[in-house]
């Protein structure tokens, strides 16, 4: 779950960490052998072109956190980056500043009205909930109060304490820095505050009920074990298989958010992917009315599955062409 969340949830996780000011972040030494990787291939992340007579929009699927030294550039991509008049990301660094302050009062009201998760769980699951939260390293009172979707996203972030991936080396961070240095603008494709608020205002009573069932079957070994059944001791290039596939330009038929099947998975898919993909397709169609060359750099998961941005563009009569 944690590995997939790292790829899927973009700046939402970083901002959740800011919102949860009491979150502990212990320093843990890197396990260099486990996280070693090799790249014996020429990187070519998936890239599409959407254009009309006077506008070209290049769409690059990204990974938001990467380890230092992980290669994802190639001459074709570098040429496109240099040709773009503007970079568009999910939420630019500038636009994210102060976003939580603006929606803070609304979120505070929602939290005051919410019944804590522990009070919604069965007596058997309550101690397991406490154990699960303890493994995350997050303060129990905070996690118990916030909506379940927000809590689970936080678990995904804090569970990666030894993973050397960082936003510093993520695609958007690198590109934002380059565009700023060249004096070119960086824009956002969505209102970050609105996306965050949608997570907090979701009615999660049914989701907590499903969590209850998961907790009763949870063996307590790790947070990942709540959903995942695969090995948790991957190392080397096996550990980085997701990143390698992305860098090779492999686009999956579907994007697994790591929450299995059920109402929790459906809720995450709707809020984090489907709803945003519909809105982004509308934005892209409207952006074609403005002349110029645009580089759109957003999470790779938005280009996978039956409700991808590409599919929503097709439903609007627009065809994006794969160019790498």
SS (H, E, C) 142-172: HHHHCCHHHHHHHHHHHCCCCCCCEHHHCHH
Three-state SS at 86: strand
Please tell me the predicted confidence (pLDDT) of residue 257: 78
Which pLDDT does position 219 carry in this prediction?
Answer: 83
* 84 CB-near residues (< 8 Å, 6+ apart): 58, 179, 184, 293, 294, 295
pLDDT in the model for residue 311: 97
| Predicted pLDDT of residue 93 | 74
Tens-digit pLDDT profile for residues 171-208: 999 999 999 999 999 999 998 888 888 888 888 999 99
Residues near 157 by beta carbon (within 8 Å), at least 6 away in sequence: 2, 5, 6, 13, 14, 16, 17
Please report where in the chains the tokens 């008049």 appear, as a residue: 85
Residue 51 forms beta bridges with which residues?
56
> For residue 302, what are the CA distances in angstroms to 7, 157, 251, 288, 308?
11, 19, 10, 19, 5
First to last CA, the chain: 30
pLDDT at 18 (0 to 100): 41
DSSP string, 22-38: T---------TTTT---
Can you tell me which residue has the tokens 């291939």? 41
Q: Which residues of the chain have pLDDT under 70?
A: 1-32, 97, 156-161, 228-232
């Amino acid at each position: 779950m944690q590995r997939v969340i790292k790829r899927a949830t973009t700046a939402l996780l970083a901002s959740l960490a800011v919102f949860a000011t009491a979150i502990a972040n212990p320093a843990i030494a890197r396990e260099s052998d486990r996280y070693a990787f090799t790249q014996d291939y020429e990187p070519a992340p998936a890239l599409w072109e959407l254009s009309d007579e006077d506008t070209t929009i290049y769409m690059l699927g990204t990974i938001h956190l990467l380890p230092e030294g992980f290669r994802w550039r190639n001459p074709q991509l570098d040429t496109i980056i240099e040709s773009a008049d503007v970079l568009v990301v999910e939420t630019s660094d500038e636009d994210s500043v102060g976003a939580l302050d603006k929606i803070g009062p609304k979120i505070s009201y929602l939290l005051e009205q919410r019944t804590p998760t522990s009070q919604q769980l069965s007596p058997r699951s309550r101690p397991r909930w406490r154990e699960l939260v303890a493994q995350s390293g997050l303060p129990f009172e905070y996690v118990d109060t916030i909506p379940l979707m927000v809590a689970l996203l936080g678990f995904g972030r804090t569970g990666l304490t030894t993973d050397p991936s960082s936003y510093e080396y993520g695609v958007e961070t690198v590109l934002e820095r380059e565009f700023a240095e060249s004096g070119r603008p960086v824009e956002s494709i969505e209102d970050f505050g609105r996306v965050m608020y949608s997570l907090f205002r979701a009615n999660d009573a049914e989701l907590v009920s499903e969590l209850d069932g998961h907790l009763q079957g949870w063996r307590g070994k790790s947070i990942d074990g709540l959903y995942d059944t695969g090995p948790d001791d991957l190392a080397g290039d096996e550990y980085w298989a997701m990143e390698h596939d992305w860098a090779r330009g492999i686009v999956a038929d579907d994007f697994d958010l790591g929450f299995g099947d059920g109402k929790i998975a459906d809720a995450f898919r709707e809020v984090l992917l489907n709803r945003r993909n519909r809105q982004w397709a509308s934005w892209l169609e409207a952006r074609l009315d403005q002349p110029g060359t645009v580089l759109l750099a957003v999470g790779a998961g938005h280009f996978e599955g039956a409700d991808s941005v590409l599919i929503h563009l097709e439903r609007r009569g627009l065809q994006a062409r794969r160019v790498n």
